[in-house]
Chain A
Amino acid sequence: MNKVKIGMLLSLALMLGLTSCGEKEVNTKLVLNEVLIENSSNFQDDYGVHSAWIEIFNKSYTSADLAGYLLKMSNQPGDTATYFIPKGDVLTVVRPRQHSLFWADGQPNRGTFHTNFVMNGATATWVGLYDSGKKLVDQVVIPASALKADQSYARVSDAATEWEIKGASTNNYVTPSTNNKTLEGNAKMEKFQNHDSVGIGMAITAMSVVFTGLILLYICFRAIGKASVSVSRKRAMKTKDVTSMEEAKEKKLGEAPGEVFAAIALALHEHNDMHDVEDTVLTITRVKRSYSPWSSKIYTLRETPKK
């Protein structure tokens, strides 16, 4: 009965764990990353047209498919335009840490990446991304008249929580289909080159971590070893009728080295080996094999069909 209860409890915990993992994934994989509303001389589509665009970023390290997702846009409450991202286009798969750009040009007949709505920056614009189960994945509100022509409203860096206006200065440029913050060098490497050109910092840090890891293991297994010796000592005391702990410690009960056991095992083997001299005698013994469905032939046979 207890086993059944434990089993049910574990299953419940597993189900809860899986459910929470599933929800988390839906909510965090894809995010709205950058929006440009008034495009006069910025990025142009394959038709050579300058239109408003919405950039989506896959912030995970696995591919994410936008097929079946909904892009919604609203300039005023109660008036929401919805674009269903078509299924069956391989290009809707966004590779890990990559971007996908949608043209808000009201021309869905021009392809998967052209929405059926246009955007207008005169009033505040709300853009939302919904998954195929119509759950809100991400949303952003672009303040009214906040953006001038060719300026975008974007996350400070890819998937960052803070948003800013890009294109207002030369250092802060609009980045369609690419990283919101352009990495012009390897920051980690530069940090090492500037602060630890000799490598001593790395050596000290890394050796400390290696030692910490192995010291933790040492402490753990020292304690486990002591507990194990104590258990074997108690067993040895029971078999040898020793009651005093001091006496057991003195006699080193339960601490016999492996060599002793090896010698005992060898002696037993020698004693039990009936054919060490008469090695030409053949003995046939029945071999017992424990049953396992993995090796059972019964399960690999097809049953005869019955009417």
Chain B
Amino acid sequence: MGEFLNFISNNLANFWTYTGFANATVGHLIMILVGLVFIYLAVAKEFEPMLLIPIGFGMLIGNIPFNMEAGLKVGIYEEGSVLNILYQGVTSGWYPPLIFLGIGAMTDFSALISNPKLMLVGAAAQFGIFGAYMIALALGFDPMQAGAIGIIGGADGPTAIFLSSKLAPNLMGAIAVSAYSYMALVPVIQPPIMRWLTTKNERLIRMQPPRVVSHTEKVMFPIIGLLLTCFLVPSGLPLLGMVFFGNLLKESGVTRRLAETARGPLIDVITILLGLTVCASTQASEFLTFDSVLIFMLGALSFVIATASGVLFVKFFNLILPKNKKINPLIGNAGVSAVPDAARISLVVGLEYDPTNYLLMHAMGPNVAGVIGSAVAAGILLGFLM
């Protein structure tokens, strides 16, 4: 009997070594707390719930402590585990292009086609990427890591994940969380910069209403867009190819079912898998480092630089534009590709100063140009640094 009890107690003691309680570290607890904060912000404050719920819960999944020596095949970094299999979409880089397919199928480029000069605003905002790249270099990151960190300034989660999985896989967790967090915080980061860099008169500028764009123009846009941008930057093909393909599905008018799948069920499935697995990869041992702190700081800076460069570019552009074609600099912030949040902020800030000046459609131009611009920038970084 005593021997049997001994066997039971040994078994229980052995089992204890497998539990999360026995393997928990302070790092795990901190990361679980961060995950809970994200879930709270998403549920209670409705801060980008589509992003923050998978991010927060992914952090919980990724930080359940377990005995790493046991070979249980449960961790995201353990080959053959379910999470590891799902994570391959991130490491091999095929989730982000599929997200871009959905983005293309849901984006209306008419605002941009009707006023194509807004493309330049989208290009100017990409300076956030290269500003952050320069600061990251100054802080001691190597060029590949700096490129991966800089892309946070593109305000494009899938692009950031795609590029970091190629250039700096070890920093991907921090970069992805940083990119998505700041995308959720766009309503907090951008308005003060927009107000600070513009005068009251500039904020009141009324822009000409966009003209109606014909179906032919809408069909031509993805085709010409793909050919021009990818001939220039072939390394951007996975992202640009998919975004323009998705857009052609939408605009051709003859592939409604495919477009609906791309912008509906497909993008939802991939968003769930991408958000969850990327954030499950933020294991405390990998994530809680000084580099992550620096990445978060650089991420914030890149958003600030991107917003400021977009607004300042519009002000500069206005100097050469005729009086009746001036652009309201409040849409300059929309050059970052957080679609459609950045454009919505242009609208909200614009309405504060003139309740009848609706800037949303105008801001959608640079906003979608930003999507193209950040994908082109990612392609350039990939081409130069890989």
Q: Which of A's residues lie within 8 Å of B, judged by CB?
A: 188-189, 192-193, 197-200, 202-203, 205-207, 209-218, 220-222, 224-225, 228-229, 231-232, 255-259, 261
Separation of A256 and B144 alpha carbons in the complex (Å): 49
Minimum Cβ distance to chain B for residue A114 (Å): 33
Inter-chain contacts of A232 with B (CB < 8 A): 212, 214
Chain B 191-231: CB-based contact to A (< 8 A → 1; otherwise 0): 00000000000000000111111101100110011001100
19 A–B contact pairs at CB < 8 A?
Answer: A189-B385, A192-B384, A199-B133, A209-B233, A210-B126, A213-B228, A214-B119, A216-B232, A217-B224, A217-B225, A217-B229, A217-B372, A220-B224, A221-B224, A224-B113, A224-B217, A232-B214, A257-B208, A257-B209
| B127: Cβ under 8 A from any A Cβ | yes
Q: How many residues of B contact A (CB 8 A)?
A: 53
Shortest CB-to-CB span from B260 to chain A, Å, is 14
Q: Give the distance to chain A from B324, nearest Cβ to Cβ, in Å.
A: 13
Q: How far is the CB of B137 from chain A (nearest CB, A)?
A: 4
Residues of A within 8 Å of B384, CB to CB, are: 188, 192, 202, 205-206
Question: Measured between C-beta atoms, what is the minimum distance from B234 to chain A in Å?
Answer: 12
Once bound together, how far apart are the Cα atoms of A258 and B214, in whole Å?
11
Asked if residues B133 and A189 are in contact (CB atoms below 8 Å), the reply is no
Q: How far is the CA of A202 from the CA of B167 in the complex (A)?
A: 15
Contact between A222 and B380, CB atoms less than 8 A apart: no
The reply to whether A257 and B210 contact each other, CB–CB distance below 8 Å, is yes
A248 to B282 alpha-carbon distance, docked (Å): 62
On whether the beta carbons of B216 and A203 are closer than 8 Å, the reply is: no
Report if A259-B209 is in contact (Cβ < 8 Å); known contacts: A213-B376, A214-B373: yes
A-chain residues with CB within 8 Å of residue B138 when the two chains form the complex = 198-199
User: Which single residue of chain B is at the shortest CB-CB distance from A186?
Assistant: B144
B116 at the interface (CB under 8 A from A): yes
Return chain B residues, CB-CB under 8 Å to A216: 228, 232
**9 new A-B contacts at CB < 8 Å, known A203-B134, A210-B373:** A189-B144, A199-B133, A199-B134, A199-B138, A209-B233, A214-B119, A217-B116, A217-B228, A257-B212
Q: Sort A-B residue pairs by CB-CB distance and give the 6 closest, nearest first.
A: A257-B209, A203-B130, A199-B134, A221-B116, A214-B123, A214-B119
Query: Are B119 and A218 in contact, with the CB atoms below 8 A?
Result: yes
B214 engages A193 (CB within 8 Å): no
Q: Identify which of B136, B211, B217 contacts A258 (C-beta below 8 A).
A: B211
- Contact in complex: A225, B116 (CB < 8 Å): yes
CB–CB A206/B144 < 8 A: no
Contact B117 A218 (CB under 8 A): yes
| Given A199-B130, A222-B116, residue A210 in contact with residue B143 (CB < 8 A) | no
Tell me the B101-154 residues at the A interface (CB within 8 Å). Answer: 110, 112-114, 116-117, 119-120, 122-123, 126-127, 129-131, 133-134, 136-138, 142-144, 146-147
Residues of A within 8 A of B51 (CB): none
Query: Is B120 a contact partner of A214 (Cβ separation < 8 A)?
Result: yes
Q: How far is the CB of B217 from chain A (nearest CB, A)?
A: 5
Chain B 143-175 against A: per-residue CB contact (8 Å), 1 yes, 0 no?
A: 110110000000000000000000000000000
In the assembled complex, the CB of B254 is this many whole angstroms from the nearest CB of chain A, namely 10
Complexed CA–CA distance, A256 and B211 (Å)? 6
Report which B residues bind A (CB closer than 8 A).
Answer: 110, 112-114, 116-117, 119-120, 122-123, 126-127, 129-131, 133-134, 136-138, 142-144, 146-147, 208-214, 216-217, 220-221, 224-225, 228-229, 232-233, 361, 369, 372-373, 376-377, 380-381, 384-386
Query: Which residues from chain B contact A225 at a C-beta distance below 8 Å?
Result: 113-114, 116, 211, 217
Which B residues are CB-close (under 8 A) to A193? 142-143
Contact B228 A220 (CB under 8 A): yes
B380 contact from A209, A214, A221, A257, Cβ within 8 A: A209
User: Using Cβ atoms and an 8 Å threshold, which residues of chain A touch B216?
Assistant: 228
Q: Which residues of A contact B122 (CB under 8 A)?
A: 214
Residues of B within 8 A of A256 (CB): 211-212
**Cα distance A193–B217 in the bound complex, in angstroms:** 44
- Assembled-state Cα–Cα distance A256/B112 (Å): 17
Residue of B nearest to A231 (CB): B214
**Contact A210/B210 with A197-B137, A221-B217 known, Cβ cut-off 8 Å:** no
**Chain B proximity of A212: nearest CB distance (Å):** 7
The answer to whether residues A207 and B220 also contact, given A189-B385, A193-B143, A218-B117 and a CB cut-off of 8 A, is no
Closest to A257 in B: B209
Q: Beyond A198-B137, A206-B381, A210-B377, is A257–B211 a contact (Cβ under 8 Å)?
A: yes
B312 to chain A, nearest CB (A): 14
Q: With the chains together, A218 CA to B117 CA distance in Å?
A: 6
Query: What residues on B are CB-neighbors of A197 within 8 Å?
Result: 137
Query: How far apart are B55's CB and chain A's nearest CB, in angstroms?
Result: 28
Bound: A93/B221 CA distance, A: 42
Question: Please, which residues of chain B bring their CB within 8 A of the CB of A224?
Answer: 113, 217, 220, 224
**Neighbouring B residues of A214 by C-beta, 8 Å:** 119-120, 122-123, 369, 372-373, 376
List residues of chain A with CB within 8 A of the CB of B113: 221, 224-225
Most buried by A among B119, B131, B142, B376: B119
CA distance A231 to B229 in the complex (A): 27
* Residue pair A258, B119 in contact (C-beta under 8 Å): no
Question: Do B123 and A210 touch (CB < 8 A)?
Answer: yes
Q: Is the CB of B377 within 8 A of A206?
A: yes
CB distance from B28 to the nearest CB of A (A): 34
Judging by beta carbons under 8 Å apart, are B119 and A217 in contact?
Answer: yes
Q: Which residues of A contact B134 (CB under 8 A)?
A: 198-200, 203
